[in-house]
RNA sequence: GGCCCCUUGGUCAAGAGGUUAAGACAUCGCCCUUUCACGGCGGCGACACGAGUUCGAUUCUCGUAGGGGUCACCA
């Protein structure tokens, strides 16, 4: 088999969404796993939908994910240019070639005429194909229209009988009646090709061997085959991927307000986790291992693992996977990735103390699922939140407000008199001894202290870990605050 | 509506004519434990339906139902 070449062919009409990225990923992986070439081609043949900056989003995303292309804009290979708007002469030439070969024809129908063909207004569903009016124009009529400078499009001349079959690697053989095929437009009146035409021409010219795309193209694939055949070109291997859904009925899409790739990144999902997760939506690995870096996928990816039914994007599983990725990071990497969030949660003053930041990072790395969880969870370090004394009551810890008050009153002098090193381990030993000396369970001291230090029902660390972070002065202050709160409550 | 495609637990999914129908997320319970999280153990939970082929179908065929796609001078 000739060398494998795949391409990612986005159109710069918006931002990179999850489905796009997954298709791109698969295309990239198919190239890599076969030692082939991955091409990036920009399909900007619709000047009306062009969105400024969309191309940068594509480049930015590829850069971020580490999906590198071998040929494309800025990386010229032998098949350039890689931007379709710079190739318009090519399409025109091939469209005319097809006319010459008798597989396409000039059509001078006006938009108005085409509109009227639609059968007016209330034509529920049943829309009609083009009536092929211009297909039967005489050579003279065509020449006259051309000479008169009438605007025209070039349409594909579909066979009127028989069937067309194509083979898709994931869906198998699919056959359709040629009767159902529309004489689709190949070259628009502005001289630019339609997607369907440019795609075929470029895929051939660029030597693409595996055409990977969403399965919404399944129904236009027979037309592609007819085009390849009309030119006498080799038909590529088709790989249609099922969509990624938001729920049972709707696709995941930016239009529906669903998060794009960049949105997820901004929310604190890790690029590698997102990539890993979406690789699994529509593809399953050989074994039970679910964690794959890009580099590993470049070895492990298999076409056999592709599935044909849609997959619902499950943010819960992504969250879980993201948490796993976070925990697997080195402390240094995590510190870097979480920097902005740590800063936000701690505030300038605490953030200035690198030792504190590192300790907080270590605690939080073990418990956050997405990076944006961080600020909320550590804000209490900056400032003790207002809290209700009800949180001192904990059945399992065997504490209530009365016991908590007593524990805090025991702890306060202990803390003030403490002469050891101010680190969690030693403080823990000390507090446990204090509990034993007063015939209390460890938890009856530790829970109230943790609560007083954090003012929260849950905190990213236990009593002594928080004490260490807070330092002695602040610990004393918070215990005193707890004591007066509890007193006020119990006296009421 | 025509045509095309899809259908294993709530979700992602493996499997293949004969299995106790994997695994993961979620969920529930227990354990660990200075809260939470992590971790460990365990539970609940699925082959859309109906025929046919077969000694035997979740797996093959055909229908039915449900869902999706497509029917542009958009990609």
Which domains does chain A possess? Answer: 83-211 (3.90.800.10), 329-383 (no CATH), 384-492 (1.10.10.350)
Nucleic strand B under 7 Å from the C-beta of A267 = no
Closest nucleotide over all strands to A308 (CA to C1'): B6
pLDDT in tens, A92-150: 999 999 999 999 999 999 988 888 877 654 444 455 789 999 999 999 999 999 999 99
pLDDT in tens, A299-352: 999 999 999 999 999 999 999 999 999 999 999 999 999 999 999 999 999 999
> Across residues A377-397, what is the average pLDDT?
95
CA A328 → C1' B26, Å? 22
What is the model's pLDDT at position A28? 98
Q: Which nucleotides of B are covered by protein (CB under 7 A)?
A: 1-8, 10-15, 22-26, 34-39, 67-75
> Across residues A63-75, what is the average pLDDT?
96
Rg (CA), chain A: 33
Cα pseudo-dihedral A324, A325, A327, A329, rounded to 10: 160
| CA closest to B71 C1', residue | A127
- A267 has catalytic annotation: no
CA A249 → C1' B37, Å? 35
Nucleic strand B under 7 Å from the C-beta of A448 = no
Residue A153 bridge partners (DSSP): A107
Q: Which of A92, A254, A441, A489 is catalytic?
A: A254
Cα–Cα–Cα angle for A165, A136, A132, rounded to 5 degrees: 55
- pTM summary value: 0.94
Question: H helices of A304-440, where?
Answer: 315-328, 331-351, 354-365, 374-382, 401-417, 424-437
CA A318 → C1' B13, Å? 15
A444 to A296, A430, A462: CA distances (angstroms)? 49, 14, 13
């Amino acid at each position: 088999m000739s060398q494998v070449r795949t391409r990612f062919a986005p159109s710069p009409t918006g931002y990179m969404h999850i489905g796009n990225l997954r298709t791109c990923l698969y295309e990239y992986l198919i190239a890599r796993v076969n030692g082939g070439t991955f091409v990036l081609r920009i399909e900007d043949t619709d000047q009306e939908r062009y969105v400024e900056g969309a191309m940068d989003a594509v480049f930015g995303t590829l850069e971020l994910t580490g999906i590198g292309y071998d040929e494309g804009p800025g990386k010229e290979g032998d098949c350039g240019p890689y931007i379709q708007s710079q190739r318009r002469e090519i399409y025109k030439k091939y469209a005319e070639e097809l006319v010459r070969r008798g597989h396409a024809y000039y059509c001078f129908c006006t938009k108005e005429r085409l509109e009227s063909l639609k059968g007016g207004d209330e034509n529920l569903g049943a829309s009609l194909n083009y009536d092929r009016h211009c297909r039967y124009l005489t050579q003279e009529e065509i020449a006259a229209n051309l000479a008169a400078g009438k605007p025209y499009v070039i349409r594909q001349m579909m066979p009127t009988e028989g069937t067309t079959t194509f083979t898709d690697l994931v869906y198998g053989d699919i056959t359709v009646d040629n009767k159902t095929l529309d004489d689709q437009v190949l070259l628009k009146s502005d001289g630019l090709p339609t997607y369907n035409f440019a795609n075929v021409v470029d895929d051939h010219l660029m030597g693409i061997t595996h055409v990977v795309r969403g399965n919404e193209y399944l129904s236009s694939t027979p037309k592609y085959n007819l085009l390849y055949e009309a030119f006498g070109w080799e038909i590529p291997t088709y790989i249609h991927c099922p969509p990624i859904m938001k729920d049972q009925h709707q696709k995941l899409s930016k239009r529906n307000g669903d998060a794009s790739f960049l949105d997820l990144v901004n929310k604190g999902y890790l690029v590698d986790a997102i990539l890993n997760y979406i690789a699994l939506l529509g593809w399953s690995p050989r074994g039970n291992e679910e964690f794959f870096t890009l580099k590993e996928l470049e070895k492990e990816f298999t076409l056999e693992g592709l599935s044909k039914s849609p997959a619902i994007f499950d943010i819960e599983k992504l969250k879980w996977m993201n948490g796993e990725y976070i925990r697997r990071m080195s402390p240094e990497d995590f510190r870097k990735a979480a920097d902005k969030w740590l800063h936000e949660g701690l505030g300038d003053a605490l953030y200035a103390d690198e030792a504190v930041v590192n300790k907080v990072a270590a605690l939080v790395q073990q418990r956050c699922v997405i990076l944006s969880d961080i600020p909320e969870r550590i804000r209490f370090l900056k400032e003790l939140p207002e809290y209700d004394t009800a949180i001192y009551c904990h059945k399992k810890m065997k504490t209530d407000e009365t016991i908590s008050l007593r524990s805090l009153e025991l702890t306060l002098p202990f803390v003030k008199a403490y002469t050891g090193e101010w680190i969690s381990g030693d403080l823990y030993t000390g507090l446990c001894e204090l509990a034993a000396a007063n015939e209390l369970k460890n938890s009856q001291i530790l829970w109230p202290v943790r609560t007083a230090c954090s003012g929260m029902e849950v905190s990213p660390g236990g009593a002594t870990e928080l004490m260490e972070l807070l330092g002695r002065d602040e610990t004393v202050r918070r215990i005193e605050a707890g004591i007066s709160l509890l007193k006020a409550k119990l006296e009421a």
